[in-house]
């Protein structure tokens, strides 16, 4: 009995260390503890109905536009430096035939028009959201942020932060494949 009692600490120690080893290995594989997964994953995409930025930029979309095929919704702004980093990858997605919709977050018409002219516009449609209303509905915690939405209009994945080349390869593309099923 006493031997058993005195061995108990080992048991707790092994369990605790096991968990820590597991998590450290996952952290090594790219787990980021600072990311809180969205509560919206697995839920229907929130209502959205945004106007176009201006007449000569394709835009203005609502939730019905997202139905029928797998789409990507990307939150960006002209003032956001990491958004420029992921721009190439957004173009890549469009080339792959994925329609990318954009929520233009807290921006000015002139700024964003200039930004798109300079960097190119790969988006299917851009919704203008100067006061961040749609972003609140979608639970956006920062720009850039990207959502994958399946054909039925459900959010299947959320990426916080820029889509770098490795994120595209390791996360976005496999998640798109999963969403297509």
Partner 1 sequence: MIPEIGQFVLLLALLVAGVQSFIPLLGASQKNSALMKTGSSMAIAQFFLILIAFFALTYAFVVSDFSVYLVFKNSHSLKPMLYKISGVWGNHEGSMLLWALILAIFGAAVAVFANGLPSTLKARVISVQAMIGFCFLTFIVFTSNPFDRLDPPPLNGLGLNPILQDPGLAFHPPLLYLGYVGFSVAFSFAIAGLLEEQIDGSWGKWVRPWVISAWTSLTAGIVLGSWWAYYELGWGGWWFWDPVENASFMPWLFGTALLHSVIVVEKRNTLKIWTLLLAILTFFLCLLGTFLVRSGVLTSVHAFASDPERGIFILMILILAVGGALILFALKAPRITSSVSFSFFSRESAIILNNLILTFSSITVLLGTLYPLILESITGGTNSVSVGPPYFNLTFVPIMIPLLIAISFGPLLAWKHNNLAVIANKLKIALISAAVAAIITYIIVPDGPILAPIAIGLAIWIAVGSLTEWAMKTKLFDKPFNITNLKFSYFIRAISGMTFAHLGLSILIIGITGSSAWQTEFITSLYLGESKQFKEHKITLEKVEYFSGPNYEVERAHLLITKPNGETLKFMPERRFFPVSGQTTTEASIKTTLLVDLYAVLGESKVHQKSEKKWTLRFFINPLIPWIWFGAVLMVCGGLLSLANPSHWTVNLYASRKKRSPAKISEPTKMDI
Minimum distance from residue 25 beta carbon to partner 1 (Å): 8
Query: Among residue numbers 3 through 62, which ones bind partner 1 (CB under 8 A)?
Result: 3, 5-7, 9-10, 13-14, 16-17, 19-28, 31, 33-37
Measured from the CB atom, is 7 or 166 closer to partner 1? 7
Binding residues for partner 1, how many (CB under 8 A)?
A: 27
Minimum distance from residue 24 beta carbon to partner 1 (Å): 4
Distance CA 85, CA 162 (A): 7
Q: Provide the 8-state DSSP code for 36.
A: P
Q: Provide the 8-state DSSP code for 44.
A: B
Cα–Cα distances in angstroms (integers) from residue 61 to residues 73, 104, 123, 129, 132, in the given order: 11, 12, 12, 11, 15
Q: Should residue 131 be labelled a site residue for partner 1 when binding is judged by CB under 8 A?
A: no
Q: Should residue 166 be labelled a site residue for partner 1 when binding is judged by CB under 8 A?
A: no
**Three-class DSSP category at 154:** strand
Measured from the CB atom, is 14 or 151 closer to partner 1? 14
Instruction: Give the phi and the psi of residue 3 in degrees, each rounded to 5.
Output: -60, -40
Distance CA 162, CA 83 (A): 6
Q: Should residue 136 be labelled a site residue for partner 1 when binding is judged by CB under 8 A?
A: no
Residues that bind partner 1 (CB under 8 A): 2-3, 5-7, 9-10, 13-14, 16-17, 19-28, 31, 33-37
């Amino acid at each position: 009995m006493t031997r058993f009692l005195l061995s108990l600490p080992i048991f707790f120690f092994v369990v605790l260390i096991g968990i820590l080893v597991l998590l450290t290995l996952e952290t090594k594989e790219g787990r980021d503890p600072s990311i809180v997964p969205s509560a919206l994953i697995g839920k229907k995409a929130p209502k959205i109905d945004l106007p176009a930025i201006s007449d000569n930029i394709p835009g203005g979309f609502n939730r019905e536009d997202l139905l029928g095929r797998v789409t990507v919704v990307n939150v960006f702004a002209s003032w956001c430096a990491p958004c420029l980093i992921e721009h190439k990858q957004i173009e890549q997605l469009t080339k792959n035939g994925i329609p990318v919709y954009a929520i233009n977050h807290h921006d000015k018409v002139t700024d964003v028009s200039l930004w798109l002219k300079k960097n190119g516009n790969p988006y299917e449609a851009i919704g203008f959201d100067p006061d961040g209303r749609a972003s609140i509905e979608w639970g956006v915690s920062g720009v850039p942020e990207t959502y994958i939405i399946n054909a039925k209009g459900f959010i299947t994945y959320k990426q916080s932060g820029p889509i770098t080349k490795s994120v595209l390869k390791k996360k976005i593309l496999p998640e798109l494949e999963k969403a297509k099923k």
